[in-house]
Amino acid sequence: MKILVLGSGAREHAIVTSLLSEEAAHDIVVAPGNAGIAQDVRVEPDLDPLDGIAVTEYAIENGIELVVIGPEAPLVAGVADPLRTRGIPVFGPGKVAAQLEGSKTFAKRVMDAAGVPTGRAVRASTLLEVEEALDALGAPYVVKADGLAAGKGVLVTEDRDDAVDHASHYLEQGSVLVEEFLDGQEVSLFLVSDGHTVLPLAPAQDFKRLLDGDAGPNTGGMGAYSPLPWLPENFVDEVIDTVAIPTVRQLAREQTPFIGLLYCGLILTSRGIRVIEFNARFGDPETQVVLPRMVTPLSELLFAAATGSLSAQQRPEFAWDVTVTVVLASEGYPEAPITGRPITGLDEAAAVPEVTIAHAATARDAQTGELVATGGRVLSVVARGTTFAEARSRAYEAIGRIGLEGSQYRTDIAAGVTV
Ligand code: AMP
Ligand code: GLY
């Protein structure tokens, strides 16, 4: 199949790696891609993934049979819509359904209408409303920017002044949500949707805070692992029945079917499962641990979702072994990452058994050809093993071989998980 993948992160690299591992040989092109993706497939660095018209023209001219939209920005910008209008199969929701991720207010409204369990929340447009909501819901305080904020829009704090400061920053860009604090383990569950039917992938856990022990600021995600051996057995079915199906049906009723990846960010509270967020795309870095375990060909699932034929597919199968990913980030991430520094040791790192490296923010220096870091999260080191201890030791052995001045990573990803 001729497949166009939009995006340039480790998630897109993991998607490409998974497509390349299939028995069927695909013709894959990524726009814009990065230096790591360019080692594996063709890239189109000048095709702007946010320009729906340009992407559609490219797809038509190049006979693309499936477009996979990786990141949230092109989804929220509505890039799927002109593609779909022209009859090109596209994995990713249109502009309105992508509001499930793009607007927390939209997501809460859909959840309310569909009866999906989520935290109580108040939308506030002024500081006075924020303070009233903080006092009504009590500490710990949870304040969320309403729109996209690259994983940095949420603050969870015991400090009321910090909560007010965070809210006042995001109020300049629009409204904020003050939410009840939910206590429990977090789970990311991905469901492929064709607008009517959903099929679940394997659950994963993401580590959102920058520092060991879940300290420091929220990030896009510093590591992940899969499977989650501690989950209740009926967990996935319960999420399908109480979260995913009601949400997909609600959007279908509203004439804005959700075709793509429904990412359910969940907390397992003592009172049951609660949704803390929806995303409209694969998670990063969870994708890096979910896809390597998937036995079912990824292209079949994505194509079936894009063409409305998911009900003819079996539930995807996953290998029993475990995967762990550790993210290497630039100095200064997440506030102000320092970019342009050289990266060394990747061949040595990839030589560790069962290790692959997904590139996130890398480029080749035009003059020297040297690999350099171009952003906050630079690489995802992914390791497979028969136990978490084995996968962890491989991941950390590999990351220890990579050189990037000032770089940071967590040392406690999947620590203490046993199988
Ligand atoms: P979000 O961007 O909504 O996923 O939030 C980022 C992180 O903030 C989540 O992964 C949680 O760790 C935390 N968080 C979000 N909402 C809540 C909540 N209501 N209660 C506790 N923690 C939360
Ligand atoms: N890992 C969190 C996200 O992809 O939003």
Average pLDDT of 406-413? Answer: 98
C-beta 283 within 6 A of ligand 2? yes
DSSP string, 7-40: E-SHHHHHHHHHHHTSSS--EEEEEE--HHHHHH
Q: What are phi and psi of 151, to 5 degrees?
A: 80, 0
**CATH dotted code for 122-179:** 3.30.1490.20
* CA 61, chain centre distance (Å): 30
Of the listed ranges 74-88, 166-180, 340-354, the least confidently predicted one is: 166-180
What percentage of the chain carries pLDDT values higher than 70? 100
Q: How confident is the model at residue 171 (pLDDT cuts 50, 70, 90)?
A: confident
pLDDT band at 141 (very low <50, low <70, confident <90, very high): very high
Ligand 1 within 6 A of 154 CB?
A: yes
pLDDT of residue 268: 96
Domain with CATH 3.30.1490.20 in the chain: 122-179
Whole-number pLDDT of residue 66: 98
- Indicate where the chain has its CATH 3.40.50.20 domain(s): 2-91
> What was the pLDDT predicted at 71?
97
Q: H or E stretch including 162?
A: helix 160-171
Which amino acid belongs to residue 13? H
Of 162-176, 196-210, 377-391, which gets the smallest average pLDDT?
A: 162-176
Counting ligand 1 atoms within 8 A of each CB, the residue from 141, 156, 281 with the most, and so the one to mutate, is 156
* Ligand 1 and 218: CB distance under 6 A: yes
Q: What architecture does CATH give domain 322-399?
A: Alpha-Beta Complex (3.90)
pLDDT confidence bin for 146, thresholds 50/70/90: confident
Q: Cα–Cα distance between 161 and 159 in angstroms, integer?
A: 6
Determine whether 24 is exposed, middle or buried from the number of CB atoms within 10 Å of its CB (0-12, 13-18, 19+).
exposed
Asked whether residue 145 carries a pLDDT value surpassing 90, the answer given is no
Mean pLDDT across 239-262: 98
Cα separation, 72 vs 375, in Å, equals 17
Q: How far is the CA of 279 from the centre of ligand 1 (A)?
A: 13
Average pLDDT, the chain: 95
Start-end ranges of CATH 3.30.470.20 in the chain? 184-312
What is the Å distance from ligand 2's center to 287 Cα?
A: 9
CA atoms within 13 A on the CB side of 19: 27
Q: Where in the chain is the domain with CATH 3.90.600.10?
A: 322-399
- Which tokens in the block code for residue 411? 């040392």
User: By the 8 A CB rule, do 200 and 191 touch?
Assistant: yes
What 3-state class would DSSP assign to 252? helix
Higher pLDDT pick, 399 / 320: 399
Q: Which atom of ligand 1 is nearest to the CA of 274?
A: 19
**DSSP string of 57-122, one letter each residue:** HHHHHTT-SEEEE-SHHHHHTTTHHHHHHTT--EES--TTTTHHHH-HHHHHHHHHHHT--B--EE
Instruction: Identify the H or E element spanning 238.
Output: helix 235-239
Does residue 151 carry a pLDDT above 70? no
Give the mean model confidence (pLDDT) for residues 70-84. 98
What is the CA(276)–ligand 1 centre distance, in A?
6
Rounded to two decimals, what is the model's pTM? 0.95
Question: What digits encode the pLDDT tens for the residues 293-337?
Answer: 999 999 999 999 999 999 999 999 999 999 999 999 999 999 999
Distance 154 CA to ligand 1 centre (A): 7
Classify domain 184-312 at the CATH superfamily level: ATP-grasp fold, B domain (3.30.470.20)
Give me ligand 2 centre to Cα 168, in Å: 24
8 Å CB contact between 22 and 299: yes
Ligand 1 binding pocket mutation candidate from 154, 180, 189, 279 (most atoms within 8 A of CB): 154
Q: How far does residue 61's CA lie from ligand 2's centre (Å)?
A: 33
For domain 2-91, the CATH class is: alpha beta
* C-alpha pair distances (Å), 284 with each of 8, 194, 205, 372: 12, 21, 11, 21
Residue nearest to atom 5 of ligand 2 (CA): 283
* Percent of all residues in the chain with a pLDDT value above 90, rounded to a whole number: 87
CB 388 within 8 A of CB 419: yes
